[in-house]
Chains A and B, each alone.
Chain A
Amino acid sequence: MSEKILEVNNLKTHFFINKGVVKAVDGVSFSINKGETLGIVGESGSGKSVTSSSVMRLIPTPPGKIVDGEILFKGENILNKSMDEFRKIRGNEIAMIFQEPMTSLNPVYTIGDQIAEAIQLHQGLDKKEALKKAVGMLEKVGIPAPEDRVHEHPHQLSGGMRQRVMIAMALSCNPELLIADEPTTALDVTIQAQILELMRELRDEFNTAIMLITHDLGVIAEVADKVAVMYGGRVVEQTDVKTLFKNPKHPYTAGLINSIPTLEGDSGRLEPIEGNVPDPFSFPEGCKFANRCPFATDECMTKEPQLEKAEKGHDVRCHRWENLDLKK
């Protein structure tokens, strides 16, 4: 069996705000093996970022709090570690890149300083050696003239270049797990493709496990091995990529797949899921998707479905999965 690098069990991250409790992540479980890429997909507001921030322990507290569950990194629950202990892992064995390359780098420091900072911290190199390594990393992520670029400030770089810098920074300490929260969403299409290609290359070179968060199933199809589909703070379907696209069992997944624009442009088939993710205070009592689901029954309105094993390695959270044929 391949070795589990990350295992999240029954994670519950809630936000306690004036209006009430936002159960942003409410009982999420998944795992990632060494070198594997797990895609987490779902519409905006489904709890993807909160999930990834929880693994990095970056949830702003207050108002947020991880109220239940465990996050096992190489078998150890990071939630039981002190913050000082966890800081040795964060940025070192687990690294993260974010959605907004334009704002994710500190405008007042050179990119070299910002990359070298992590290297100095975790690898004990001095500033000069760390800067040299930073140049090497910039070269690896395809930044031209890295010896010059290393002295530049973020505002001198384009969005795509900045995301490359973020990737260089994240990979500079050779992490075993890379969390990428919508790394290409803010970039235009050609740059998106380049960044995804770069991530694939580096993953193969460093054998890094990746938790790739996106609202775009197209991105999942390109890079992921396994997929977890999230809706309303829960995983509603989870399986390997091939199975998910060929044989989706949850109506929400099927809806997402149908709403991918195809290259041929046969817009007749493009059916975006109607409605929006309801705000967390007005989720239906039963299945959270019931108010948008074309197959909803009375049972769906009142009783919440559990995550069931439909087949080996294929979980689905729907009362009616056995009776629905969602294959294309």
Chain B
Amino acid sequence: MLTYIIRKSFMAVPILIGIATITFLLNFVFVPGDPVRIAMGNHGDPATIEMIREEMGLNDPLYIQYGRFVGNIFRGDLGISYTTRRPVFEMIMERLPATAMLAVSSMVIAILLGVTAGIISAIKPNSILDYLFMTGAMIGVSMPVYWLGLILIVIFAVNLNVLPVGGYGTFAHLVLPAIALGVRQAAHIARMTRSSMLEVIDKDYIKTARAKGLSEKVVVIKHALRNALIPVITVIGTQLGYLLGGTVLTEVTFSWPGVGRMAIDAVNRRDFPLIQGTVLFLAAIFIVVNLLVDLSYGVLDPRIRYD
């Protein structure tokens, strides 16, 4: 298992270098112009600008800039932001708790809501509750996150005035963004849990469990659910990319001061190092969470061996 983690981590290195290369090159394709001039506006005198360019190594040949960029990444140095003049890594770390809080609470909502709805639907298929949940889930998977976010804002913040429009700090601030981000995941999880439970509940070992005299509750929760969750994990895994993108959109919609919003701000301000840093960082997070998803299979299913 440990060797598996180490091997997977090593496999992540070329992926990260690839992403670093792409972000490095993309800057030249999509953000033409002199970054220092953009950052300083039009009122820097040419001598100062030249000094900053020299200081930042922007006058060096491209391959030297690239080599330095990649080398620094592995030292945890993501460069200095053009706009704030602070280390990018530090800025990301500052924003990380907000993003983590949003992502984790939305995931908790998604799992609690999705798994519960899926179980109820599966043990009483074609009941009113089943139709209700599955219709909800169908709407949920097809609803864009920013759209849902705006609707939630209109209903709960503007019309009912019970929750803040956006911002950060209290539990009340967290409610709407976490729901906006969690609903789509919940919908996916609910659908997968339902179909997976329906399949598992017909298995022979469920009959064995009933034949032992166990109560339906134990049969469903202990014997069926753990097996049914294995494919649900896959769904969560395939939705990770979406979760990442959704986090960025949600942060923007709700003025949530996370890494995602910082990335968008960086794009607007053409803050190269900050763009590169946040993209790389999000990619690294994606890889780590993917690995965690991978490992959670082993926790649920003893047939899986990591070797």
Contact = CB atoms under 8 A, between A and B. Distances in A.
A71 to B, nearest CB: 15
Interface in A73-109: 87-92, 95-96, 98, 100, 103-109
A56 B210 CA distance: 9
A100 B205 CA distance: 10
B208 interface: yes
B213 A118 contact: yes
Among A56, A58, A104, residue most surrounded by chain B Cβ atoms (within 10 Å): A104
Interface residues of A, number: 28
Contacts of B226: 108
B85 interface: no
Contacts, number: 66
B302 interface: yes
A229 interface: no
Nearest to A102: B204
Contact of A169 (B207, B212, B214): B212
A80 B288 CA distance: 56
Given A87-B215, A88-B213, A118-B212, A100 B204 contact: yes
A91 B213 contact: yes
A258 to B, nearest CB: 33
Contacts of B227: 106-108
Contacts of A121: 212-214
Nearest to B210: A58
A162 B212 CA distance: 16
Question: In the complex, which range does the number of interface residues on chain B fall in?
Answer: 10 to 19
Interface in B214-236: 214-215, 223, 226-227
A166 B210 CA distance: 14
A253 B167 CA distance: 81
A63 to B, nearest CB: 13
A153 interface: yes
B300 A108 contact: yes
Interface string A99-129: 0100111111110000001100110000000
B211 A91 contact: yes
Nearest to A92: B213
Nearest to B208: A104
Contact of B205 (A89, A105, A118, A153): A105
Contact of B208 (A98, A108, A110): A98
A155 interface: yes
A89 B208 CA distance: 15
A277 B258 CA distance: 69
Interface of B: 203-205, 207-215, 223, 226-227, 300-303
Interface of A: 56, 58, 87-92, 95-96, 98, 100, 103-110, 117-118, 121-122, 153, 155, 166, 169
